[in-house]
Structure 1
Amino acid sequence: MPDKNMYQDYADHMRKIADVKFALAVLQWDQETYLPPKGAAFRGQQMATLSEISHQMFTDEKLGKLLDQLSNDPSLNEKQRRNIELTSEDYNKNQKYSSAFVRKLSEATSKSYHSWIEARKQNDFKVFEKDLSVLVDLKKEETQLLGFKQHPYDALLNEFEKGATVQWLDGLFGNLREPLKKLLEKIQRKSAPDDSFLHQHFNKDDQWKFGIDMLKQMGFDFEAGRQDISEHPFTTNFSAEDVRVTTRIDENDFTSMTWSCLHEGGHALYEQGLPTDQYGLPLGEYCSLGIHESQSRLWENCVGRSMEFMQHNFPLMLQYFPQLRNVGAEQVYAAVNKVQPSLIRTESDELTYHFHVMIRYEVEKQVIDGTLAVKDIPGFWNEKYKTYLGVNVPDDKRGCLQDIHWSHGSFGYFPTYSLGSLYAAQFFKHIQKKYPGLKALINKGNYNDIHQWLQANVYQYGRMYTSGELCNKATGETLQQSYLLAYLTDKYAGIYGF
């Protein structure tokens, strides 16, 4: 019979690993917010050292033996058994990596991030090309270490969305592409809302204060987090009680900052809602990136781009931005939902957004299988933007340098954005079914029912279930594309009058 303290020994070890990983996360957060330029080289070294240490702790033979013993312990409860099962999966995966590879990947990622920053400053992909090529080669090596059945990209997709494959995503995007294209064509035959008033001068400090108000309103706990400025908005956490979000501000368009705050705030609420008693254990971690993105898309779009949200917040907008006094809430609502093919993914409308994701998916898939060379990414990117969205890409900064993900080595992440929108639409519809008066509450700035539903159906479970299992448990259905298509059609029919 296993020692009754064995599970506690396991939990203690996992929490020490978490301490190291979160110390690494603090350095990564600082790198993207406050790190002075000369600190880059040593910061890369420091981060590589912590990555190597956490990997060594996770691949310790003692942990492996402990997991084997606990796997056969009948005294464990359901949550404990699931923690052991998931940690065993993670342990076996980590065994495939050498410490040297982990260090090399961390160093390459840090170097790649800084060259991406410099490439954006110079507006020249070639500045980024060499370091990105090194990183891509390492990611290709990683696919061989992890293993795959059909396509090498499957190994990386699985890191962000368990079970996702090229075959599945090809089918999903294939089924989405035509309905979205038809909806876009229908919209383009109608008169577009005027959004010129959104592109006035909006003071940076006023925008910042308004963004803080938005985060507070949606329930972000500033006693357990903070917001800062970064090159690319992101959310990170060091525990459920220390969650950091960042934003960026364009003084000629307050919508960029506003909906960035709502998007990252959705991520942050998920992290703040995870069970603190499971710190360092799988059940204290998020389910998947697809589910994580469902939280950001739900708050940014289903709530934040709704008429009810706009009606409630328009008086506050006027306090901060009196230059909007000549328009009404309805005009701002239509303007922030204007559908227009554009260059920048993070600033695109909800419909064309998915074409941005599909393009990145195609780039990554071909880079990883070797049919697209890194040096050819800009040309391929520009060609796809012309084909999918009918726009000409004027330069690299507004083209293939706009996203931070590749500089982080996050190949396989982008598809989760569209998956997140699909989950968000389905979740939001079921929240409305449970709470028929939800729209009236949003009109009053009351999000208690949304918080309760998400806490009960998403936050509390951590990694207990896969994305598909969680969706089925929460909504009684597997993931359905029909919810997103119905949501988009209904919204744009009201705005564009068809």
Structure 2
Amino acid sequence: MTTAYDELMAFQRETEALGQVAGRLGWDQETMMPRGAAEQRSEEMSAMEGVLHARRTDPRVGEWLAKAEPADAVAAAQLRHIRRSYERSVKVPARLAQELARVTSVAQGVWAQARAKEDVPGFLPILQDVIRLRQEEAACLAAGGDAYDALLNDYEPGATAAGIGAMFDRMRPRLVALRAKVLGAAKQPAALQGSFGADAQMRMARDLATAFGYDWERGRLDLAVHPFSSGSGDDARITTRVAEADPFNCFYSTIHEVGHACYELGIDSDYRLTPLGAGVSMGVHESQSRIYENQLGRSRAFTGWMFTQMRERFGEFGITSADEFYASVNRVSPGYIRTESDEVQYNLHIMMRFDLERDLIGGSLSVKDLEDAWNARFLADFGVAVDRPSHGMLQDVHWSVGLFGYFPTYSLGNVYAGCLHRALRADVPDLDAALAKGDATPATGWLRERLQRHGGLREPKDTIAEACGFEPDEGPLLDYLEAKFGAIYQL
């Protein structure tokens, strides 16, 4: 006999499949779509969102939820996710959901052109539209509560701006003090010298992805303006970008996105095309990309292997030893770009964006004043004046596509990665021997077993706590940073 739970899950499976199709439209827009198709694509995205919103708010979902009886913990978790989505979706009018999809699709293209032309005025009108629509959506969701919290919960269920802000207040003094010591150190690591061909970079990027266990039968690597990963189940794609003077940009963007993709690919196949078949939150997702990129990919052991590979592929580049190469990979220097930032300063970039976007959503900062506010805050926080918009408020794609509330999950991911790394090192004490051979599988296997395979089974913080064996906090990350950079810079 078919139960209410069975009917609900069959319906949900089709909804999840359509969501994957919508995601593929977004991937295509960033990688393959001809520029002249932008207007049509916005209509296509709007139509898909209309279909998805209708399914997510279908009255039968509410009826099935009222009748469904979970047989086990997995079923209970499925119902928890569906109920959360349904209760959120019915608060947002279909008109608003479709308009958001249409406008953000257009805005993404406008942002890319504005970034290329250093044209802030050309971007501001569409950004104003995006913010207006997200404010309207937040008002629907918050029901009188904090509007920013309502948006934040789309990406990190259970998190609040107050909690994030308190964590940042605890982190900031130690990060600022560490940065001051590092930048004031007597000996500073050298940067790479020379030019590194795009084709050779892409070949090495593919080898790096392989070293971290990326499944090429279920994925692919392409170029994008802003690197990202897309998809889940048996189709999780990654992108990177190439700068011929800076191969680390390509290599570590690739490793970062592999972390995201491997999380999706590592989820139990029984959960495919269900709410449990995707990463549980963006903070947990980011924990995977950041531990792959930083604690593993920038470790002394793994960079020793990378040094040998780069010497074979690119010849001389001004670095003569594996130790110098390790220091160069982890070089701390003033810079504008968040995605290229070192581990010491990265979270300071996020703290700035967190404050600015809260003010934008709250209405205390107007769009016309955003560039001045960004530049003033950047100068105060980093001691460097922004030289052009692509190094300032135009550098990130997130606001153009409406991802307000997303930025703080990057720092949550760093915090979670610090906790996971501490537990990983305790459980796999000989990890460096494998990393020194270019083999990250002891680490990625541990992460798959402890965290990735469970998908959305548990709430975000519980996912990290179960994997680590202790409740997450910022302490392990800050301890790791102070120890690592204290050694590199001989503090």
Question: More deviation in 449-458 or 479-488?
Answer: 449-458
**Distance in structure 2 (CA, Å) of the matches to 1:325 and 1:397:** 29
2:185 corresponds to: 190
Which residue identity is paired with 1:360? R
Q: Which of residues 333, 343, 350 in structure 2 aligns to 1:350? A: 343
Q: Which of residues 270, 274, 279 in structure 1 aligns to 2:272? A: 279
Q: Deviations over 1:220-260 (max 9, x none)?
A: 000000010001000001x3211110000001111110110
Shift of 1:339: 1.2
Say if 1:184 and 1:58 are closer, same or farther in 2 by CA, change over 3 A.
same
1:265 corresponds to: 258
For the residue of structure 2 that corresponds to 1:143, the secondary structure is helix
Shift of 1:148: 5.7
2:36 corresponds to: 38
Which residue identity is paired with 1:340? S
Q: What is the correspondence of 1:139-154 to structure 2 with a 5 Å cutoff?
A: 139-147=134-142, 150-154=145-149
**Distance in structure 1 (CA, Å) of the matches to 2:172 and 2:478:** 11
For the residue of structure 2 that corresponds to 1:50, the secondary structure is helix
2:439 corresponds to: 446
For the residue of structure 1 that corresponds to 2:123, the secondary structure is helix
2:208 corresponds to: 214
**Distance in structure 2 (CA, Å) of the matches to 1:152 and 1:99:** 19
**Distance in structure 2 (CA, Å) of the matches to 1:183 and 1:393:** 23
Shift of 1:446: 2.7
Q: What is the correspondence of 1:456-467 to structure 2 with a 5 Å cutoff?
A: 456-467=449-460
**Distance in structure 2 (CA, Å) of the matches to 1:148 and 1:424:** 34
**Distance in structure 1 (CA, Å) of the matches to 2:95 and 2:193:** 50
Shift of 1:5: 4.2
Q: Deviations over 1:471-494 (max 9, x none)?
A: 221222221211011100111111
For the residue of structure 2 that corresponds to 1:32, the secondary structure is helix
| 1:192–1:338 contact (8 Å) kept in structure 2 | no
Shift of 1:192: 4.4
Question: More deviation in 319-328 or 425-434?
Answer: 319-328
1:253 corresponds to: 246
2:131 corresponds to: 136
Q: What is the correspondence of 1:204-243 to structure 2 with a 5 Å cutoff?
A: 204-237=198-231, 239-243=232-236
Say if 1:252 and 1:136 are closer, same or farther in 2 by CA, change over 3 A.
same
| 2:114–2:122 contact (8 Å) kept in structure 1 | yes
| 1:132–1:406 contact (8 Å) kept in structure 2 | yes
**Distance in structure 1 (CA, Å) of the matches to 2:190 and 2:146:** 43
Q: TM (normalized to structure 1)?
A: 0.96
**Distance in structure 2 (CA, Å) of the matches to 1:245 and 1:436:** 30
2:154 corresponds to: 159
**Distance in structure 1 (CA, Å) of the matches to 2:187 and 2:355:** 30
Question: More deviation in 270-279 or 202-211?
Answer: 270-279
Structure 1 unmatched ranges of 5 or more: none
Q: Which of residues 306, 314, 317 in structure 2 aligns to 1:324? A: 317
Q: Which of residues 1, 8, 11 in structure 2 aligns to 1:10? A: 8
| 1:240–1:272 contact (8 Å) kept in structure 2 | yes
Which residue identity is paired with 1:7? Y
Question: More deviation in 248-257 or 280-289?
Answer: 280-289
Matched, 1:307 2:305: no
Q: Which of residues 64, 67, 72 in structure 2 aligns to 1:66? A: 64
Q: Deviations over 1:123-150 (max 9, x none)?
A: 0111110000000001111111111665
For the residue of structure 1 that corresponds to 2:344, the secondary structure is coil
2:196 corresponds to: 202
| 1:148–1:154 contact (8 Å) kept in structure 2 | no
2:48 corresponds to: 50
Shift of 1:178: 0.6
| 2:276–2:457 contact (8 Å) kept in structure 1 | yes
Which residue identity is paired with 2:149? D
Number of positions where the alignment pairs a residue of Structure 1 with one of Structure 2: 491
**Amino-acid identity (%):** 34
| 1:113–1:408 contact (8 Å) kept in structure 2 | yes
1:171 corresponds to: 166
1:469 corresponds to: 462
Question: More deviation in 4-13 or 343-352?
Answer: 4-13
Q: Which of residues 434, 440, 448 in structure 2 aligns to 1:455? A: 448
Which residue identity is paired with 2:198? K
| 1:275–1:462 contact (8 Å) kept in structure 2 | yes
Q: What is the correspondence of 1:69-148 to structure 2 with a 5 Å cutoff?
A: 69-70=67-68, 73=69, 76-147=71-142
Structure 2 unmatched ranges of 5 or more: none
**Distance in structure 2 (CA, Å) of the matches to 1:192 and 1:146:** 52
| 1:105–1:138 contact (8 Å) kept in structure 2 | yes
4+ runs of 1 displaced by more than 6 Å? none
Shift of 1:340: 1.5
Question: More deviation in 81-90 or 245-254?
Answer: 81-90
Shift of 1:156: 0.8
Say if 1:326 and 1:372 are closer, same or farther in 2 by CA, change over 3 A.
closer
Which residue identity is paired with 2:202? W
2:18 corresponds to: 20
Shift of 1:325: 7.0
Say if 1:188 and 1:149 are closer, same or farther in 2 by CA, change over 3 A.
farther
| 1:318–1:325 contact (8 Å) kept in structure 2 | no
**Distance in structure 1 (CA, Å) of the matches to 2:363 and 2:304:** 50
Say if 1:157 and 1:199 are closer, same or farther in 2 by CA, change over 3 A.
farther
**Distance in structure 2 (CA, Å) of the matches to 1:204 and 1:471:** 37
**Distance in structure 2 (CA, Å) of the matches to 1:149 and 1:441:** 53
For the residue of structure 2 that corresponds to 1:246, the secondary structure is strand
| 1:421–1:484 contact (8 Å) kept in structure 2 | yes
Shift of 1:450: 1.4
Which residue identity is paired with 1:189? G
**Distance in structure 2 (CA, Å) of the matches to 1:342 and 1:192:** 19
**Distance in structure 1 (CA, Å) of the matches to 2:473 and 2:453:** 23
Q: TM (normalized to structure 2)?
A: 0.97
For the residue of structure 2 that corresponds to 1:441, the secondary structure is helix
2:331 corresponds to: 338
Which residue identity is paired with 1:98? P
Matched, 1:244 2:250: no
| 2:193–2:318 contact (8 Å) kept in structure 1 | no
For the residue of structure 1 that corresponds to 2:112, the secondary structure is helix
Q: Deviations over 1:146-183 (max 9, x none)?
A: 11665321111111111211211111111111111111
For the residue of structure 2 that corresponds to 1:228, the secondary structure is strand
**Distance in structure 2 (CA, Å) of the matches to 1:374 and 1:478:** 39
